[in-house]
Amino acid sequence: WMCMDRVRTGVEGLDQLLYGGFLRGDAILVAGAPGTGKTSLGMQYLYNGITQFREPGLFITFEEFPERIYRDAENFGWDFRGLEDEGKLKVLFTSPEVLQHDIVRDQGIASEMIAEIGATRVVVDSISNLQGAAEDSRQFRESVYGLVNALKAESLTALLTRELREEEEIGTGPEEFVADGLILLTRSYVQAQ
């Protein structure tokens, strides 16, 4: 277990659970209901990668403008704008269709950004948007499969976030069979004494 090449998250407790981190080149699905911290975990994975392990990263979002990502990161004390200025991070706001076209064909803005900063980590927030862009479950499965394979071809260790709707069961979506691992985030309420 320990001799395999691991990508440490730098998240307290998580690397211990993962025997030192994710396997390099894996695609990990991070699923949970709204507000469980999927995006925050992705941002921390990239921030720690850059600041602790000298591994540049790419944050791909379908939902949030870069300004909002910078602001949310700043709330945790993570200077995403500064890291971007230093050429260690890229934040890409795009559509699922453009990303599919871009990365699967290995040309376009995503591939350029990966090469430009030498990215080894990527966060895609959120692959739920691929589902909305797909005509049916078969097309959704194909688009997730194509995206994961394209990220692996770029030698990236990827976190893919996925929004779970109310009462939705994990283990039913096609992306869970494409990903190498799954982290399920839930809300737990702690009652004050």
**Considering the entire predicted model, what is its pTM?**
0.92
Q: Is the pLDDT of residue 5 over 60?
A: yes
How many residues appear in the chain?
193
Contacts 24+ apart (CB under 8 A), 90-94: 90/57, 90/58, 90/59, 90/116, 90/117, 90/119, 91/58, 91/59, 91/61, 91/66, 92/58, 92/59, 92/60, 92/61, 93/61, 93/62, 93/64, 93/65, 93/66, 94/60, 94/61, 94/62
| Span 29-84, pLDDT tens digits | 999 999 999 999 999 999 999 999 999 999 999 988 999 999 999 999 999 999 99
Q: Is the pLDDT of residue 159 over 70?
A: yes
pLDDT, position 174: 67
Q: What is the pLDDT of residue 1?
A: 47
Between 176 and 16, where is the model more confident? 16
pLDDT digits (tens, 9 = 90+) for 18-30: 999 999 999 999 9
Cβ atoms of 83 and 47 within 8 Å: the answer is yes
pLDDT at 2 over 70: no
What is the pLDDT at residue 37?
Answer: 95
Residue pLDDT, tens place only, 88-142: 999 999 998 888 778 767 678 888 999 999 999 999 999 989 888 888 888 888 8
